[in-house]
């Protein structure tokens, strides 16, 4: 490390109120995480956002270790929908546990709230991707559903703040 770099590092440590070794430890930890995610997803990671963005089957997808954050995914899902806005999309919840999907017919505006509701109801962890599927015209959210309250495969409609199971007419 050059003298100029050492002086710069000392300045950063003083500014943060930590030792140089603590600052270096934190920097190495962030770099380690970045490299692990890069190896896992094969692309450069946006460390501030905490996800990678790729295209899959014509749609965008964000992948990460846990995209739910502190609000059960509400903010991140809302951000994704605002960035890739489509008025005609519905919601698909992909259950990573058994690799099946619950289709939820709802308005686009309700999707972030429904995702966070399902995440909390199911004690789902982790939320590993948020994407769009042009072929099914849906936003797809991948998470591990652990409680079995949302049936996958399944079809639901959102109505008056509740999810209602929709059965084919010959089974009802």
- Looking at the fold, whether 28 and 95 belong to one and the same domain comes out as no
Q: Domain of 18?
A: 3-41
33 and 95 housed in the same domain:
no
User: What pLDDT, in 10s, does the model give residues 91-107?
Assistant: 999 999 999 999 999 99
Dump strand ranges (E) for 42-105.
52-56, 59-63, 90-95, 100-105
Question: Tokens 């652990």 map to which residue?
Answer: 146
150, 158 contact by CB (below 8 A) = no
* Same-domain check for residues 26 and 91: no
Q: Which residue has the tokens 């899959």?
A: 56
Domain membership flag for residue 104: yes
93 and 152 part of one domain: yes
**Residue 165: inside a domain, yes or no?**
no
**For the chain, how many structural domains are there in total?**
2
Residue-wise pLDDT tens digits, 116-140: 999 999 999 999 999 999 888 999 9
Whole-prediction pTM? 0.69
- C-alpha span between 7 and 127 (Å, rounded): 41
Render pLDDT for 12-67 as a digit per residue (tens, 0 to 9).
889 888 898 888 888 888 788 767 766 765 555 554 556 666 776 688 999 888 89
Residue 36 lies in a domain: yes
R_g of the chain, CA atoms, integer Å: 20
Residue 138 · residue 90 · CB < 8 Å: yes
- What mean pLDDT, rounded, does the chain reach? 86
**Residue among 26, 28, 23, 25 nearest 12 (CA):** 23
Let me know whether 112 and 90 are in one domain. Answer: yes
* 166 occurs within a structural domain: no
Tell me the three state secondary structure of residue 106. Answer: coil
Q: Is residue 167 part of a domain?
A: no
Q: What was the pLDDT predicted at 172?
A: 44
């Amino acid at each position: 490390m050059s003298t100029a770099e050492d002086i710069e590092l000392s300045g950063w440590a003083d500014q943060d109120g930590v030792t140089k070794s603590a600052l270096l430890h934190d920097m190495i930890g962030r770099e380690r995480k970045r490299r692990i995610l890069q190896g896992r997803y094969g692309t450069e990671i946006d460390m501030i956002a905490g996800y990678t963005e790729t295209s899959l089957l014509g749609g965008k997808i964000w992948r990460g270790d846990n995209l739910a954050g502190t609000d059960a995914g509400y903010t991140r899902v809302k951000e994704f929908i605002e960035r890739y806005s489509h008025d005609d999309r519905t919601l698909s919840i992909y259950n990573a546990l058994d690799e099946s999907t619950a289709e939820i017919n709802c308005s686009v505006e309700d999707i972030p709230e429904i995702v966070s509701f399902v995440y909390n109801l199911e004690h789902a962890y982790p939320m590993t991707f948020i994407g769009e599927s042009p072929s099914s015209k849906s936003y797809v959210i991948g998470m591990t559903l652990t409680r079995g309250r949302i049936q996958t495969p399944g079809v639901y409609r959102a109505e008056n703040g509740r999810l209602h199971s929709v059965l084919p007419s010959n089974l009802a």
